Amino acid sequence: QVQLVESGGGLVQAGGSLRLSCAASGRTFSWYAMGWFRQAPGKEREFVAARGWRGGSTYYADSVKGRFTISRDNAKNTVYLQMNSLKPEDTAVYYCAADPSGTATIRNEEYRYWGQGTQVTVSS
């Protein structure tokens, strides 16, 4: 069982930056692929970024490519999402997720464990 706890969300003006963190329990964190997803009001949950175990393959949604960076610190059991040049359309609840297969994927159904989410609001 893996528990994920996100933090770092908040209110920021357009053009600003935030760094989300996701702390994971469990000694096998380094074996898991980690992903970030988001869900805006009235919309379906969508993929944002993913990184394989030991920092392998990395994927980004086209909408965030060049602005967001996913990274992980296996020693701290933590994955990060650095978000720069934020836009109002980035407003959503952001979730981190863990996939025991270790292979990064954009498919949310592949992720077994999910955090509770953290709200990101970008004002114009």
User: Tens of pLDDT along 21-76?
Assistant: 999 997 777 889 999 999 999 999 999 999 998 767 899 999 999 999 999 998 89
**40 contact partners, CB below 8 Å, separation of at least 6:** 89, 91, 92, 93
pLDDT band at 1 (very low <50, low <70, confident <90, very high): confident
Query: What is the CA 46 to chain-centroid distance, rounded?
Result: 11
What's the pLDDT at 39?
A: 98
Residues 94, 92: Cα–Cα separation, whole Å: 6
Q: How far apart are CA 120 and CA 9, in angstroms?
A: 5
Per-residue pLDDT, 60: 98
Residue 72 in contact with residue 55, Cβ under 8 Å? yes
Q: What is the pLDDT of residues 65-111, one digit of tens each?
A: 999 999 999 889 999 999 999 999 999 999 999 998 888 999 999 99
* Helix (H/G/I), strand (E/B), else coil: 105: coil
Q: Minimal CA–CA distance to 117: which of 2, 34, 32, 5?
A: 5
Residue-level pLDDT at 55: 62
